[in-house]
Amino acid sequence: MNSLCMPRVVAGAVLVLAALSAAAHSFTLGEIDIGHPYARPTREGQRVSGGYLKLTNKGPADRLLSARSPAADATEIHSMTMDGNVMKMRQVDAIEIASGQTVELKPGGYHLMLMGLKAPLKAGDKVPLTLKFEKAGEVVVTVNVEEPKPQPDAAPEHKH
């Protein structure tokens, strides 16, 4: 069982299934671990979707510079912050990952935005995603299409 993917609160069968399906779904690039990349399924006519994963850096400080996927016209790195009680999202140039730090890309925080999807994302699909780091270089990971695990602090879904 991959502890990176364990839900914080196991409240029902859905969460248990999510934990099982998440097992052993992680990738390594040098001293960077990429835990459980996933994206949300899309609804009819929706051509963007958020991509999420967890970066753990056991080596020297590095930065995630970009991401790309053949499933989308463009993949951007976004941040989400609260401005008063309004969620603001913006594109960022890079995500810093200090030595020994874990950065989680998750709903309501940093995320990848798959823009201009070439086909709908359906639960159970898997799409390739290339991550480019300043020092560690590039790695191709597999993004599982699934609903995010419920999180008590999750932000409402945002639209573009």
Residues that bind Cu ion (CB under 5 A): 78, 89, 113
Give the nearest residue (CB) to Cu ion.
78
Name which of 56 and 75 has its Cβ closer to Cu ion. 75
Comparison of 6 and 89: residue with beta carbon closer to Cu ion: 89
Question: Whole-number minimum distance, CB 39 to Cu ion, in Å?
Answer: 12
Closest by CA to 104, choosing from 2, 5, 1, is: 5
Task: State the minimum distance, in angstroms, from the CB of residue 49 to Cu ion.
Answer: 9
- Please identify, using beta-carbon distances, which residue of 25 and 40 lies nearer to Cu ion: 40
What would you measure as the largest C-alpha separation in the chain, in angstroms? Answer: 43
83 contacts 128 by C-beta, under 8 angstroms: no
For the chain, the helix, strand and coil percentages under 3-state DSSP, each to the nearest 5: 10, 50, 45
Residue pair 95/142 in contact (Cβ under 8 Å)? The answer is no
Q: Give least dist CB 86 to Cu ion, A.
A: 15
Least distance (Å) between residue 78 CB and Cu ion:
4
Residue type, 63: R
| Residue whose structure tokens are 């958020």 | 50
35 or 107: CB nearest Cu ion: 107
Whether the CB-CB separation of 127 and 140 falls below 8 Å is answered with no
